[in-house]
Chains A and B, each alone.
Chain A
Amino acid sequence: MQALPSGAAHTVWTEKTSWIDSVPRAVSMTLLFVAFILFWTALTWSSVVSPIILPSPAEPLKQIIYVGHNLLIGDYMLTALYITLQEVFYSFLLALFLGFSLGILVGETIFGERAVMPYLVALDTMPKVAFAPIFIAWLGFGIESKVALATFIAAFPIIVGTAAGLHSADENSRMLFKTMGASRFQTLLKMKLPMGMPQFFTGLKIGTVGVMAGAITGEFLGGGKGFGELIRVASTNLNTARVFALIIFLSLIGLSLYLLVGWIQRKLIFWQKSGLLGDGF
């Protein structure tokens, strides 16, 4: 047998981590973005696709500046943005109210669970966009029909989130409140609702995305004067670069709303450790 090597050379070891896991978030995000733009540029330079279908990255950039300028000087695009913002704002509040109250009805009462929930599930499985003509027939071409469609799309995840949250209370907590002689309302207010907040916010975040989708779809299908209409006009004119620029601005609205909800969630549910996307956004 050979003698052991002197010193502690082989007693200390380090756990191996892939180099890609140690790259900071900002760097990896930038790298991915640059790679994407390069790929895009290569695709347009090589003339594989026509510029009408996919413009070179420089075109949307020009259009972003154009749209941004138009918004800043308060031209017609700002008016359109204001209309879409109104739609988003109203449908968000409506979906929040409807989703929360129906969620409590379904999650808290046996009647709601037995009688109402099956209808909600049936409605949820339908392609909701197909209801747009009905909303237009009922409410006209104004923002009301867009608000209705967006609310209709966004309410379901909020209902499900609220109901699932109410069901998340564990057996011990229920028993504790029973032994303390708590009324049903007290149990709901002081235990079930706070305990269900994480699920509620998950539903609300999905609903937030739905509000944006609903408002724009409503404008596509029902005319109006919002940002969705600008996109429709730009695409009819084969101005694909403009479409991209408008989408970027729309996504900024969606992202800010999402971040706002996430911020409120973190302030409200301070006891919950942040999970996926919790610290990133």
Chain B
Amino acid sequence: MSLQSSNQENSGAEGRPVFVLEQVSKHFPRRNVHALDRVDLTMREGRFYSVIGSSGCGKSTLLKIMAGLQPPSSGSVMLEGKPVLGPRPDIGMMFQQATLLPWRTTLENVVLPIEIRDGKSAALAAHDKAQKLLKLVGLNGFESVYPSELSGGMAQRAAICRMLISEPSVLLLDEPFSALDELTREFMNMELQRICMERNATAFLVTHSIPEAVILSDNVFVMSSRPGRFVEEIVVNLPRPRTLSMLTSPEFGELVDRIRKNLDAQSFL
């Protein structure tokens, strides 16, 4: 199976490469599962990437390897020219759940990464910055509120701020809005796009929603399972900023169709 890269000429060759994966494989010998098989990926500055695949296709393993939470069996993972050999402060991560600590206020939750890395006084000094981030996501006024009083969407906004406070060079998003209801989710996707554009962020999203992948991304990778590998790369050339009305445009529909066909083809093999 070879990677069919379409629209090679405008697949985003411009931009500084930030995150480079070469021939990354992951094999779990105990279960004899090839979770990842020679995955290559180059992420360029300011671009948004998605990987889409059925459950258990290895996309979460890929994300964990990128985040330095798991070592690859072989291959190299380089971020900003340095190999990823464990969790790094220049990687920002977001999960399905907001995972805010219930005994900390929103502001205290946002500065948590600073507190862990540089101590309490540094966290205190970062309050201004956190305030600005909360304003960016529309949470101003909720600084001293405890997470139990935040809605699901608001909690994820706070989680975005917590991810951004340490100014990571790459954002890893593990189905960040899949626990939210459909309407909130679409809205949060637009918010995420705005935030990423504002900060020229380089992002990598794991999802199993095709429309979400298309509306957010510049490049979508379709992943097959067992062994997990990229079977197609689709370049989304819809203009930015994307809007929710694009969800019904013919170009959008064509891209969704193409990804779905790829998914169908390999999930029934």
**Which of A182, A195, A270 has a CB less than 8 Å from the CB of B116?**
A182
| Contact status B93-A179, CB under 8 Å | yes
Closest B residue, CB atoms, query A183 = B116
- Give Cα distance in the complex from A188 to B124, angstroms: 21
For residue B260, CB closer than 8 A to chain A, the reply is no
For residue B69, CB closer than 8 A to chain A, the reply is yes
- Interface residues in B56-104 (C-beta closer than 8 Å to A): 67-69, 86-89, 91, 93, 95-97, 99, 101-103
| Contact status B117-A172, CB under 8 Å | no
- Give Cα distance in the complex from A269 to B146, angstroms: 13
| Contact status A180-B102, CB under 8 Å | no
State how many angstroms separate the Cβ of B69 from the closest Cβ of chain A: 6
Given A172-B97, A271-B146, A271-B148: A180 and B103 interface contact (C-beta under 8 Å):
no
| Contact status B113-A180, CB under 8 Å | yes
For residue A128, CB closer than 8 A to chain B, the reply is no
- Give Cα distance in the complex from A270 to B103, angstroms: 8
| Contact status A179-B99, CB under 8 Å | no
State how many angstroms separate the Cβ of B201 from the closest Cβ of chain A: 16
| Contact status B101-A179, CB under 8 Å | no
| Contact status A191-B101, CB under 8 Å | yes
For residue B112, CB closer than 8 A to chain A, the reply is yes
| Contact status B87-A181, CB under 8 Å | yes
Closest A residue, CB atoms, query B69 = A178
- Give Cα distance in the complex from A182 to B103, angstroms: 18
- Give Cα distance in the complex from A179 to B112, angstroms: 12
- Collect the chain B residues with CB atoms within 8 Å of residue A175's CB: 69, 93, 95
For residue A70, CB closer than 8 A to chain B, the reply is no
- Interface residues in B143-182 (C-beta closer than 8 Å to A): 146, 148
State how many angstroms separate the Cβ of A11 from the closest Cβ of chain B: 32
State how many angstroms separate the Cβ of A272 from the closest Cβ of chain B: 8
Q: How many A-B residue pairs have CB under 8 A?
A: 51
- Collect the chain A residues with CB atoms within 8 Å of residue B88's CB: 181
- Give Cα distance in the complex from A186 to B101, angstroms: 14
- Collect the chain B residues with CB atoms within 8 Å of residue A272's CB: 102
For residue A135, CB closer than 8 A to chain B, the reply is no
| Contact status B99-A176, CB under 8 Å | yes
- Give Cα distance in the complex from A170 to B103, angstroms: 15
For residue A69, CB closer than 8 A to chain B, the reply is no
| Contact status B103-A194, CB under 8 Å | yes
Closest B residue, CB atoms, query A272 = B102
State how many angstroms separate the Cβ of A178 from the closest Cβ of chain B: 5
Q: Which secondary structure dominates chain A's binding surface?
A: helix
| Contact status A271-B102, CB under 8 Å | yes
Task: Specify which of B86, B88, B91, B112 lies most central, judged by the most chain A CB atoms within 10 Å of its CB.
Answer: B112
- Give Cα distance in the complex from A179 to B64, angstroms: 10
- Interface residues in A138-174 (C-beta closer than 8 Å to B): 170, 172-173
- Interface residues in A175-213 (C-beta closer than 8 Å to B): 175-182, 186, 190-191, 194-195
- Give Cα distance in the complex from A172 to B113, angstroms: 15
- Collect the chain A residues with CB atoms within 8 Å of residue B89's CB: 180-181
State how many angstroms separate the Cβ of A266 from the closest Cβ of chain B: 13
Closest A residue, CB atoms, query B88 = A181
- Chain B 110-128 near chain A by CB (<8 Å), digits 1 or 0: 0011011100000000000
| Contact status B99-A172, CB under 8 Å | yes
| Contact status B95-A176, CB under 8 Å | yes
| Contact status A172-B101, CB under 8 Å | no
| Contact status B87-A180, CB under 8 Å | yes
| Contact status B117-A181, CB under 8 Å | yes
Closest A residue, CB atoms, query B115 = A190
- Collect the chain B residues with CB atoms within 8 Å of residue A179's CB: 67-69, 87, 91, 93
| Contact status A186-B116, CB under 8 Å | yes
State how many angstroms separate the Cβ of A268 from the closest Cβ of chain B: 9
State how many angstroms separate the Cβ of A189 from the closest Cβ of chain B: 10
- Collect the chain B residues with CB atoms within 8 Å of residue A191's CB: 101
- Give Cα distance in the complex from A176 to B172, angstroms: 12
- Interface residues in A67-99 (C-beta closer than 8 Å to B): none
- Interface residues in A9-54 (C-beta closer than 8 Å to B): none
Closest A residue, CB atoms, query B98 = A172
**Which of B86, B99, B103, B117 has a CB less than 8 Å from the CB of A271?**
B103
Closest B residue, CB atoms, query A186 = B116
What are 22 contact pairs spanning A and B, CB under 8 A? A175-B69, A175-B93, A176-B93, A177-B116, A178-B69, A178-B87, A179-B67, A179-B87, A179-B91, A180-B87, A180-B89, A180-B112, A180-B113, A181-B88, A181-B89, A181-B117, A190-B115, A191-B101, A195-B101, A269-B103, A271-B102, A271-B146
Extra 13 A-B pairs, beta carbons < 8 Å, given A178-B87, A179-B67, A180-B117: A170-B99, A172-B96, A172-B97, A175-B69, A176-B93, A179-B87, A179-B93, A180-B112, A190-B112, A190-B116, A194-B103, A270-B103, A271-B103
**Residues of chain A at the chain B interface (Cβ within 8 Å):** 170, 172-173, 175-182, 186, 190-191, 194-195, 269-272
Nearest 7 pairs of A and B residues by beta carbon: A271-B102, A172-B99, A179-B93, A182-B116, A180-B116, A180-B113, A181-B87
